[in-house]
């Protein structure tokens, strides 16, 4: 392997023995890309694991630049290139996107009037689409019902709904379509009045979360949008990637910690991906709330640029993102996920249908799953500790799930049965 392969660091900053960051090395980008492919081939020969391809493809970065986005609370673009013609590309992208958006609206009206089984997917869904040259991967999510269920379970205020909704969608986009058993945990340790916010998402589309101050309500910003940055405040963003698949014992959890940049969620996640995982990406998140506090629309998109992407692809992609407009506005207009994917890949792919799709769900919070988890939690406390709780609470043990907001009660007879069931496997081993 020629050259020095950039390693991700634990806290997003190099240690004393770590190599300098990519932008500080004089090594040409082409050598870095060759090194990446050599590392991919080596890992494939040793493990043969699909996740190795994805993680190594996502790691190298040649150049990183930050471009402005129309709505600060919606997205932040982390691009691979520095373009002096960014403003020209943006204006051209807006003109093209406006024309395509009008065409999509006309086509959608024709599809809905002629046949209700067209490419538009109703309800919550997550789509993944690749560009024709396989240089860009796009994920788009509609998570309206998911965020509404989270709001109902936690009795969230409008401010808390938007903050937690964005984080739920962000975690969902980072975890979807990964290797079996992969999970992503996002935690905002902010010093704002909202408190800590924790979200966990799996590759199967299940996502759940909790927030400390569920009833927080702040004055909106001058433009009428919720003041999420003030609610979260300054602090640290912690992201943990893990895998529970027993057939992947070599996989170790990866934890990255970076400072909270703006508190607008999307910008902070994009900064984490660039600083800690060395991936160049763009992400847009939006939650639209009705006047009565219910969720009108919630969704987002995530673009990942592979390291072999050409200059032409990057220029086209930058123009598409700049011309897309506000994610919140697109959602409020009811733009389907497949149409958002078409706008993002305009000129890069003829998007007729998604490569992969699935339905996201809040949870898992089914009764059987909760019952098993709660029984394990009670058994782990030990007989003596549980007996004290029974004596103090009139023979009843209450246990609640912070994510699902479900409380279950067990009497002494049920508790004794749990300990007997937990002791049976140990006795059989002896």
CATH number at residue 406: 3.90.1280.10
Q: Is residue 150 included in any domain, yes or no?
A: yes
Q: What is the C-alpha separation between 277 and 279, in angstroms, rounded? A: 6
Print the domain residue range for 130.
126-362
* Same domain (yes/no): 296, 388: no
Range of weakest confidence among 200-214, 305-319, 365-379: 365-379
- Of residues 382 and 430, the one with the higher pLDDT is 382
Please identify, among 318, 339, 362, the residue that sits at the C-terminal boundary of a domain: 362
Once rounded to an integer, what is the mean pLDDT over residues 162-184? Answer: 94
Once rounded to an integer, what is the mean pLDDT over residues 222-230? Answer: 92
- Around 16, how many Cα atoms within 13 Å sit in the side-chain half-sphere? 0
* Same domain (yes/no): 327, 297: yes
- Is the pLDDT at 341 greater than 60, yes or no? yes
Which residues face 237 on adjacent strands? 188, 258
* Same domain (yes/no): 263, 409: no
Alpha-carbon distances of 280 from 61, 192, 261, 323, rounded to whole Å: 7, 29, 17, 19
pLDDT at 357: 86
- DSSP helix/strand/coil, 209: strand
Please report which confidence band the pLDDT of residue 371 belongs to, taking 50, 70 and 90 as the band edges: confident
* Same domain (yes/no): 225, 136: yes
Range of weakest confidence among 40-54, 144-158, 225-239, 342-356: 40-54
Q: Is residue 376 included in any domain, yes or no?
A: yes
Please identify, among 340, 362, 384, the residue that sits at the C-terminal boundary of a domain: 362
Residue listed under structure tokens 């706008």: 343
Q: Is residue 209 included in any domain, yes or no?
A: yes
Percent of the chain predicted with pLDDT > 70: 70
Q: What is the C-alpha separation between 214 and 201, in angstroms, rounded? A: 20
Once rounded to an integer, what is the mean pLDDT over residues 318-334? Answer: 88
Q: Is residue 136 included in any domain, yes or no?
A: yes
Q: Is residue 32 included in any domain, yes or no?
A: no
pLDDT at 111: 40
Q: Which two tokens stand for residue 246?
A: 């027993």
Average pLDDT, the chain: 75
**How confident is the model over 46-99, as pLDDT tens digits?**
333 333 333 333 333 222 233 333 333 333 343 333 333 333 334 444 444 445
Residue listed under structure tokens 């609470």: 393
pLDDT at 73: 31
* Same domain (yes/no): 222, 184: yes
- Is the pLDDT at 339 greater than 70, yes or no? yes
Number of compact structural domains in the chain? 2
* Same domain (yes/no): 306, 397: no
Q: Are 299 and 141 in contact (CB under 8 A)?
A: yes
Q: Give the CATH number for residue 228.
A: 3.55.30.10
pLDDT at 424: 67
- Is the pLDDT at 311 greater than 60, yes or no? yes
Range of weakest confidence among 153-157, 175-179, 297-301, 358-362: 175-179
- Around 278, how many Cα atoms within 13 Å sit in the side-chain half-sphere? 25
SS3 content of the chain, % helix, strand, coil (to 5): 40, 20, 40
* Same domain (yes/no): 203, 256: yes
Q: Is residue 30 included in any domain, yes or no?
A: no
pLDDT at 306: 86
Once rounded to an integer, what is the mean pLDDT over residues 378-390? Answer: 89
- Of residues 11 and 127, the one with the higher pLDDT is 127
Q: What is the C-alpha separation between 75 and 270, in angstroms, rounded? A: 8
* Same domain (yes/no): 327, 383: no
Q: What is the C-alpha separation between 360 and 381, in angstroms, rounded? A: 33
Q: Is residue 187 included in any domain, yes or no?
A: yes
- Is the pLDDT at 120 greater than 70, yes or no? no
Q: Is residue 7 included in any domain, yes or no?
A: no
* Same domain (yes/no): 329, 390: no
Please identify, among 310, 331, 362, the residue that sits at the C-terminal boundary of a domain: 362
Please report which confidence band the pLDDT of residue 308 belongs to, taking 50, 70 and 90 as the band edges: confident
* Same domain (yes/no): 380, 255: no
pLDDT at 251: 73
Q: Are 96 and 346 in contact (CB under 8 A)?
A: yes
pLDDT at 250: 63
Please report which confidence band the pLDDT of residue 173 belongs to, taking 50, 70 and 90 as the band edges: very high
- 169 CB-near residues (< 8 Å, 6+ apart): 141, 143, 146, 147, 285, 287, 298, 299, 300
* Same domain (yes/no): 148, 265: yes
* Same domain (yes/no): 344, 408: no
Once rounded to an integer, what is the mean pLDDT over residues 7-18? Answer: 38
């Amino acid at each position: 392997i020629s050259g020095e392969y950039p390693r991700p660091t634990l806290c997003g900053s190099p240690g004393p023995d770590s190599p300098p960051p990519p932008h500080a090395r004089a090594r040409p980008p082409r050598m870095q890309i060759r090194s990446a492919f050599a590392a991919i081939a080596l890992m494939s020969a040793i493990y043969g694991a699909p996740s190795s391809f994805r993680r190594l493809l996502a790691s190298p970065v040649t150049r990183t630049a930050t471009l402005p986005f129309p709505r600060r609370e919606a997205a932040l673009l982390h691009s691979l290139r520095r373009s002096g013609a960014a403003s020209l590309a943006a204006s051209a992208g807006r003109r093209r996107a406006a024309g395509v958006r009008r065409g999509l609206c006309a086509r959608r009206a024709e599809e809905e009037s002629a046949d209700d089984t067209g490419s538009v997917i109703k309800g919550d869904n997550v789509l993944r689409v690749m560009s024709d040259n396989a240089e860009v991967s796009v994920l788009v999510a509609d998570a309206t019902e998911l965020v509404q269920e989270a709001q109902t379970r936690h009795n969230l205020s409008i401010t808390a709904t938007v903050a937690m909704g964005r984080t739920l969608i962000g975690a969902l986009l980072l975890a979807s379509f990964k290797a079996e058993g992969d999970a992503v945990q996002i935690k905002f340790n902010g010093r704002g009045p909202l408190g800590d916010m924790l979200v966990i998402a799996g590759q199967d589309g299940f996502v759940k979360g909790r927030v400390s101050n569920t009833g927080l309500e702040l004055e909106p910003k001058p433009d009428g949008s919720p003041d999420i940055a003030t609610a979260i405040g300054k602090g640290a963003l912690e992201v943990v990637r893990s895998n529970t698949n027993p057939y992947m014992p070599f996989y170790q959890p990866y934890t990255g910690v970076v400072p909270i940049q703006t508190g607008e969620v999307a910008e902070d996640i994009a900064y984490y991906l660039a600083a800690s995982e060395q991936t160049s990406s763009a992400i847009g998140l939006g939650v639209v709330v009705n006047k009565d506090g219910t969720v009108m629309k919630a969704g987002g998109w995530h673009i990942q640029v592979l390291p072999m992407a050409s200059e032409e692809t990057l220029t086209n992609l930058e123009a598409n993102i700049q011309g897309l407009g506000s994610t919140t506005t697109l959602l409020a207009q009811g733009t389907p996920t497949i149409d958002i994917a078409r706008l993002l890949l305009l000129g890069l792919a003829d998007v007729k249908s998604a490569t992969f799709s699935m339905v996201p769900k809040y949870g898992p919070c089914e009764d059987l799953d909760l019952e098993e988890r709660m029984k394990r939690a009670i058994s782990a406390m030990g007989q003596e500790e549980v007996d004290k709780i029974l004596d103090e609470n009139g023979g009843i043990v209450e246990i609640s799930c912070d994510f699902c907001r479900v409380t279950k009660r067990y009497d002494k007879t049920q508790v004794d049965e749990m300990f007997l069931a937990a002791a049976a496997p140990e006795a059989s081993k002896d």
